[in-house]
Amino acid sequence: MNQERLCELAKKYSVTSTQDFSFEIAGANGPFVRDSSGKRYYDFHSMVGTANFGHNHPQIRKAVRCFVREYGVFHIAGNDYPHKWMVELMQKLRYVTPINFGKKVFLSNSGTEAVEAALKVVMDYHFRNDPKRTIVLVFRGAFHGRTLGALALNASKEVHRRGFFQSGPPLKIIHLSFPDINTDADPLAELKDVPLEKVAAIVFEIVQGEGGINTADPERMAALLNFLRSVGVLIVPDEIQTGMYRTGTLFACEQYGIEPDIICLGKSLGGGLPIGATVIEEGLDFQERGRHSNTFGGNPLICVAASQAIEVALNLNKTKLERNIRVLSEFAPEGLGMMRRKRFESVEARNAYMAKALEKGVLLIGSGEKNVRFMPPVNIENSLLSEAIDILRTCD
Ligand SMILES: Cc1ncc(COP(=O)(O)O)c(C=O)c1O
């Protein structure tokens, strides 16, 4: 089937979503994707942040192949039955995540599910301990997923819905200004209008991905979070996009001195396969069996891929990474680590830039209203990064 026909059929069959239907991807390797004619493109957004170590990483591919060769394709519902691949992944997650006390892990299938689990932990914990805390603080420009209230529909077991889960999330959301490095916004000052004794948690990105690659000012962020922690608010960074070395450290939290109570992970953690993970301080854990679960969380093959992705992260060549950050930040000064942006005057100008880049062999994705994000694999060869940037320089 030729590319044009395939895109036509995809458009006909797919529910309207985020696709642009102009480009078929037929394969991917390292920092490249290719179309069905064999033309190669730099994947300059690492497939929306899912391939921070490049596509088809040899170590991850090898682990997946060995698993399939030995065990075949099967599923174990990890939240119902333990298995060694899940325990190994949990051990690694407990080792790498920057939570100070004992930790527990919930495995799921996507970022949005990781955030849902975090919200349920927060709600259940406060329902048991301080039920007036029903406010969740978030920043303007935030993006945390797309799920909508399946829990509210349930009518089978009481344990699914008791307490705060009765009619879907009863949470009240209060938006604060993001402490953007490029603005003077001071969310701490905005708290004077917030009834702090009712605040349950703050959920936030350190670099807002969908929101435009907006980077938090470390001092204002720390001041806000330290204050919130002192008044009993749970600190919940969403590192689904910023994690796995995207910003230059394994988690962006580490650069900001943030100690999470709960951390949400996904995207590149799966090494190319779908995953979500919610790591929590163990004192926050649910107290009843069945309060939260799912069917596909802890799939053995995915656990194998994610365990290897963590190994790849732990063995990353830091010298190469630092050089990549230097080169990318010279080209695109705004952002953090390997998560950077270019701003445009209009949507049309942004889209024209992206179209030109695609034509010349660099795949880009937008961010915010008028920005483009630059997020090549963090381990891309230095020479290839420079080559891709040289192409982008000709696209203005
Ligand atoms: C920061 C952040 N949180 C959550 C999500 C949702 O992840 P998923 O699309 O895997 O549900 C995304 C996805 O882009 C994200 O960037």
Is pLDDT of 50 > 70?
A: yes
Please tell me the distance from the alpha carbon of residue 110 to that of residue 108, in angstroms, as a whole number.
Answer: 6
Distance, CA of 13 to CA of 18 (rounded, Å): 14
299 lines ligand 1 (CB under 6 A): no
Count CB atoms within 10 A of the CB of residue 15.
Answer: 5
Residues 304 and 331 in one domain: no
Of 240, 246, 373, the residue with max ligand 1 atoms within 8 A of its CB, to mutate for a pocket test, comes to 240
pTM of the prediction? Answer: 0.97
- Taking residues 300-325, report their average pLDDT: 98
| CATH number for position 224 | 3.40.640.10
Q: What domain count does the chain have?
A: 2
CATH code of 355's domain: 3.90.1150.10
The answer to whether residue 169 scores a pLDDT higher than 80 is: no
Query: What pLDDT is stored for residue 154 in this prediction?
Result: 82
User: Would you state the pLDDT for residue 341?
Assistant: 98
Determine the distance separating the centroid of ligand 1 and the alpha carbon of 71, expressed in angstroms.
31
Distance set, CA 111 to CA 49, 124, 136, 227, 345 (Å):
11, 20, 18, 27, 31
Residue 60 lies in a domain: no
For ligand 1, what atom is nearest to the CA of residue 239?
1
Indicate if 152 and 258 belong to the same structural domain: yes
Give the mean pLDDT of the chain. Answer: 95
Residue 159 in this model has a pLDDT that exceeds 90: no
Residue 274 alpha carbon, nearest atom of ligand 1: 10
Which pair of tokens denotes residue 110? 């996507």
Burial of 306 (C-beta count, 10 Å sphere; 0-12/13-18/19+):
buried
Averaged pLDDT, 33-51: 96
Q: Are 119 and 135 in contact (CB under 8 A)?
A: no
Q: Are 132 and 123 in contact (CB under 8 A)?
A: no
Tell me if 204 CB under 6 Å of ligand 1.
Answer: no
**Is residue 267 situated within a structural domain?**
yes
Q: Is 158 or 53 the better-scoring residue by pLDDT?
A: 53
260 — alpha (psi -120 to 50), left (phi > 0) or beta?
A: beta
Q: Could you tell me if residue 59 is inside a domain?
A: no
Per-residue pLDDT band at 22 (split at 50, 70, 90):
confident
Among 294, 313, 332, the domain-final residue is 313
Give per-residue pLDDT as tens, 218-247: 999 999 999 999 999 999 999 999 999 999
Domain of 348 in residue numbering reads as: 3-53+317-393
> Which among 108, 144, 246 is the best mutation to test ligand 1's pocket, defined by most ligand atoms within 8 Å of the CB?
144
**pLDDT-wise least confident of 21-25, 80-84, 117-121, 167-171:** 167-171
Task: Give the rounded distance of the alpha carbon of 326 from its chain centre.
Answer: 23
pLDDT score recorded for residue 101: 85
CA distance 287 to 359: 55
Question: Phi, psi at residue 114, to the nearest 5°?
Answer: -65, -40
18 and 116 share one domain = no
Instruction: Answer yes or no: is 272 within a domain.
Output: yes
Verify whether ligand 1 is closer than 6 Å to residue 143 (CB atom). yes
Instruction: Report whether pLDDT(149) > 80.
Output: no
- Helix then strand count (H, E) for the chain reads 13, 17
Cα gap 297→196, rounded to integer Å: 35
Nearest CA to 49 among 391, 384, 377, 394? Answer: 377
Which residue minimizes the CA distance to atom 4 of ligand 1?
144
pLDDT in tens, 174-189: 999 999 999 999 999 9
Which 3 state secondary structure label does DSSP give 29? strand
Give a yes or no: residue 251 inside a domain.
yes
What is the pLDDT, as a whole number, of residue 303?
98
Token pair in block for residue 268: 């590149």
- Residue 269: name the closest of 102, 67, 89 by CA: 89
One domain, residues 216 and 270:
yes
Assign 168 a pLDDT band (cuts: 50, 70, 90).
low
Contact status, residue 334 vs residue 213, Cβ threshold 8 Å: yes
Q: Tell the residue number behind the tokens 């920005």, with chain if given.
A: 371
* CB distance 263 to 98 below 8 Å: yes
Determine the straight-line distance between the first and last CA of the chain, rounded to whole angstroms: 34
Q: How many residues does the chain have?
A: 396
Element (H, E) at 214: strand 214-215
Average pLDDT over residues 257-271: 97
Range scoring the smallest mean pLDDT among 119-128, 159-168, 304-313? 159-168
Q: Are residues 70 and 194 in the same domain?
A: yes
299 has a pLDDT exceeding 70: yes
CA of 143 to the centre of ligand 1 (A): 7
What DSSP state is assigned to residue 7?
H
Res 376 pLDDT > 80? yes
pLDDT of residue 337: 98
Residue 232 belongs to a domain: yes
How far is it, in rounded angstroms, from Cα 208 to Cα 140? 10
Asked if residue 113 and residue 15 are part of one domain, the reply reads no
pLDDT value of residue 227: 98
- Do 292 and 309 have their domain in common? yes
Where does the pLDDT of residue 167 fall: very low under 50, low under 70, confident under 90, or very high at 90 and above?
A: low
